[in-house]
């Protein structure tokens, strides 16, 4: 029995355990390799490297954090997914479609990401105001600390007017997460959950919950959950994993590009947070209308294919 037979004969629970095992294995090996290569690459000792990564990034150590984040994304998400794709001989395009139809699907998906930004900002602002009290007060404090720490690191990594650093950020913080997370969650985990539950909707939503939770940024849990649902349905509707990859990349690239343009004084912060304030109701309404129209287009296409 080869690995392909072993994986395909497992129950959904067994397949999820196997995926988790691969994630731990590849990320452990990847982390060790990242440390080993970082020593000569940055001219640091092992102890100095550990000290840098345990402290708040300084301007002269941000390159180390970008390097480690890129390595983590590749080893934790991309390599386990590619390994399973190879052993299961699973294609990234599950159904061949007319090129014009697929191009239309891609364009509509990207327009939806662009137009949904005000609604996403509004949800993020609402989610960030949630507070826990009583028995869950300690949990709320922990979540807030995690959110502030992650937010600080993201701002430090993105806050640069250098085009070279902007290009590196696009790769490390937009491209690698988009490819890795879509390969893993939509390409590997979502089909397992659909098989487990017997319902595509349940599989898509459960995958989105895991996708949002694994980021450990719970004050942004709801908008990330809904983005995960959207990416999941994109794969379900188009049967082409590159469509949610492209949509995910655009969503990440908008954040990276927005901070780059902001640091160069080309845009105002008001534009980047459009939808987060009550006076933005007009943009929210327009965003909601575009979302409804875009999703309706995909749903009608799905219904026509089922006839």
Render pLDDT for 4-53 as a digit per residue (tens, 0 to 9): 778 878 899 999 999 999 999 999 999 999 999 999 998 888 888 888 88
This prediction has a pTM of: 0.90
Q: Report whether pLDDT(244) > 70.
A: yes
pLDDT the model gives residue 134: 65
- In this prediction, residue 58 has a pLDDT band, given cuts at 50, 70 and 90, of confident
- Burial class of residue 278 in the structure, from the number of CB atoms within 10 Å of its CB (0-12 exposed, 13-18 middle, 19+ buried): exposed
Q: Quick one: which of 258, 246, 25 has its CA closest to 158?
A: 258
The 10s digit of each residue's pLDDT in 126-166 is 887 777 666 666 666 666 677 777 777 778 888 777 888 99
SS (H, E, C) 52-103: HHCCCCCCCCHHHHHHHHHHHHHHHHHHHHHHHHHHHCCCCECCCCCHHHHH
List own/partner pairs for 52-58 with CB under 8 A and 24 or more apart: 56/152, 56/156, 57/153, 57/156, 57/157
Residue 23: phi, psi to the nearest 5?
A: -65, -45
Reported as a pLDDT band with limits 50, 70 and 90, residue 190 is: very high
The rounded distance, in Å, linking the Cα atoms of 221 and 216 is 8
Percent of the chain with pLDDT over 90: 49
**Tokens 């089909």 label which residue?**
191
Give the tens place of pLDDT for each residue, 251-260. Answer: 999 999 988 8
- The answer to whether 115 touches 290, Cβ cutoff 8 Å, is yes
């Amino acid at each position: 029995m080869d690995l392909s037979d072993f994986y395909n004969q497992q129950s959904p629970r067994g397949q999820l355990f196997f995926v988790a095992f691969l994630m731990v294995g590849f990320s452990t090996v990847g982390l060790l390799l990242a440390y080993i290569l970082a020593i000569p690459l940055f001219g640091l000792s092992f102890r100095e490297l550990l000290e840098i990564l345990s402290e708040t990034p300084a301007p002269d150590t941000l390159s180390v954090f970008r390097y480690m984040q890129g390595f983590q994304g590749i080893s934790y998400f991309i390599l386990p997914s590619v390994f399973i794709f190879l052993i299961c001989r699973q294609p990234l395009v599950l159904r061949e479609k007319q090129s014009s139809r697929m191009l239309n699907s891609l364009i509509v998906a990207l327009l939806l990401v662009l137009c949904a930004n005000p609604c996403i900002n509004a949800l993020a602002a609402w989610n960030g105001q949630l507070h826990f009290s009583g028995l869950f007060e300690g949990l709320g404090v922990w979540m807030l600390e995690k959110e502030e720490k992650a937010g600080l690191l993201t701002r430090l990594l993105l806050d640069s007017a250098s085009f070279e650093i902007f290009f590196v950020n696009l790769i490390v913080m937009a491209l690698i997460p988009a490819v890795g997370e879509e390969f893993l969650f939509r390409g590997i985990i979502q089909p397992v959950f659909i098989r487990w539950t017997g319902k595509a909707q349940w599989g898509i939503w459960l995958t989105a919950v895991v996708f949002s939770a694994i980021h450990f940024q719970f004050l942004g849990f709801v908008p990330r959950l809904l983005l995960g649902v959207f990416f999941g349905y994109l794969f379900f509707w188009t049967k082409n994993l590159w469509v949610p990859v492209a949509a995910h990349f655009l969503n990440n690239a908008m954040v990276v590009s927005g901070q780059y343009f902001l640091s160069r004084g080309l845009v105002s912060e008001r534009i980047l947070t459009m939808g987060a304030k009550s006076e933005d109701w007009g943009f929210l309404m327009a965003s909601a209308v575009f979302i409804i129209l875009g999703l309706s287009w995909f749903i009608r296409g799905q219904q026509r294919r089922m006839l």
